[in-house]
Amino acid sequence: MWSFPRIIAHRGGGTLAPENTLAALRCGLAHGFRGVEFDVMALPDGALVLMHDTELGRTVSGSGSVVDQTFASLSAADAGAWFSAEFIGERVPSFAQAAQFCLQHGLWMNVEIKPLPGQALMTGRSVAAACASLPADAVLLSSFSAEALRAAQAVAPEIARGLLVERLPPDWHQQLDQLGAVSLHANAATLTAAQASAVKRAGFGLMCYTVNDPAQARILFDWGVDAICTDRLDLITPDFQ
Ligand code: G3P
Ligand code: MG
């Protein structure tokens, strides 16, 4: 079952703002989105931040591994200059800042747990603990890491969980059952109509990432997909049919 938004802004603002920043969340909100996806990583010092890559350089100024960062050092870096001059000075937000923004503005959160290598257990626990005080209908945790989702389940079983996959594994149903997951989050590029219908028949929610072509979005919804995550906030709007 899927009782969450149908069109979700990927990394906050998709192609319209620097990913995983407060500016991105503001952008998603300004475009009328009611749901956002963003990536949350636990740093070695325990801080939870919005971050996709394990290396600096692509979206955050500097170089080297996030493993060598503290919250103080990472949040001093620039997370907007890579995107455009308008966003110079944008920072890597803490999860608490992002969650507060979303709660304030009624934005539903798909929090993707993105552990640093070897940190799935700690990250899953920590993200779930940070979400435990949020309204249960305000958030869904997802991850490619089953270990992170299991850890989240142990800490805050009441928070909805979804398993992210690049390709549907043969034992997807068993995995979802074992994780107590409400949904499967599938790569739109690899999902087939038959798989979509099997997931729906089994009673799970089905979300597809990352869908940037309106024609593809229509096909997926025809297949019974419940929700899509998009970078193209300009092409696939929240009222997309
Ligand atoms: O949650 C959907 C999508 O964000 C998963 O892939 O690499 O963009 O985090 P990625
Ligand atoms: Mg993500």
DSSP of 30-48: HTT-SEEEEEEEE-TTS-E
% the chain with pLDDT above 70: 100
Outline where 15-145 has alpha helix (H).
Answer: 22-30, 71-76, 95-105, 120-131
Distances (CA, A) of 151 to 16, 47, 181: 33, 17, 13
Q: How far is CA 194 from the centre of its chain?
A: 25
Which residue shows structure tokens 């890579």?
82
Which residue shows structure tokens 């089905």?
206
Q: Is 52 a catalytic residue?
A: yes
pLDDT in tens, 219-240: 999 999 999 999 999 999 999 9
Average pLDDT (42-65) is 98
Average pLDDT (69-90) is 98
Q: Write down the catalytic residue from 52, 105, 173, 185.
A: 52
User: Which residues have a Cβ under 8 Å from the Cβ of 179 and sit 6 or more positions away?
Assistant: 146, 149, 150, 153, 161, 163
Q: From the CA atom positions of the chain, what is the Rg in Å?
A: 17
pLDDT in tens, 19-36: 999 999 999 999 999 999
Of 136, 172, 138, 143, the C-alpha closest to 157 is: 136
Q: How far is the CA of 79 from the centre of ligand 1 (A)?
A: 18
Average pLDDT (45-61) is 98
- Residue nearest atom 10 in ligand 1 by C-alpha distance: 52
Which pair of tokens denotes residue 213? 């072509």
- Residue nearest atom 1 in ligand 1 by C-alpha distance: 112
pLDDT of 1 strictly over 90: no
Q: Which of 15, 36, 52 to mutate to test the pocket of ligand 1 (most atoms within 8 A of CB)?
A: 52
The residues lining ligand 1, judged by C-beta closer than 6 Å to any ligand atom, are 10, 37, 39, 52, 112, 142, 164, 185, 209-210, 229
Distances (CA, A) of 65 to 69, 99, 127, 153: 7, 25, 21, 28
Q: How far apart are alpha carbons 34 and 129 in whole angstroms? A: 24
Q: How far is the CA of 188 from the centre of ligand 2 (A)?
A: 14
pLDDT of 200 strictly over 90: yes
User: Which residues have a Cβ under 8 Å from the Cβ of 177 and sit 6 or more positions away?
Assistant: none
**Can you give the pLDDT at residue 27?**
98
Q: Which ligand is nearest to the CA of 207?
A: 1
Ligand 1 atom closest to 11 (CA)? 4
Q: How far apart are alpha carbons 94 and 64 in whole angstroms? A: 20
Ligand 1 atom closest to 37 (CA)? 1
Q: How far apart are alpha carbons 229 and 238 in whole angstroms? A: 11
| Identity of the residue numbered 180 | G
pLDDT, mean over the chain:
98
Q: How far is the CA of 186 from the centre of ligand 1 (A)?
A: 10
Q: Is 105 a catalytic residue?
A: no
**pLDDT band (50, 70, 90) for residue 125:** very high
DSSP 54: S
**pLDDT band (50, 70, 90) for residue 40:** very high
Of 14, 38, 12, 19, the C-alpha closest to 87 is: 19
7-230: CATH number: 3.20.20.190
pLDDT in tens, 132-174: 999 999 999 999 999 999 999 999 999 999 999 999 999 999 9
Q: How far apart are alpha carbons 232 and 241 in whole angstroms? A: 15
Distances (CA, A) of 43 to 58, 70, 148: 18, 7, 15
Which residue shows structure tokens 């919250």?
71
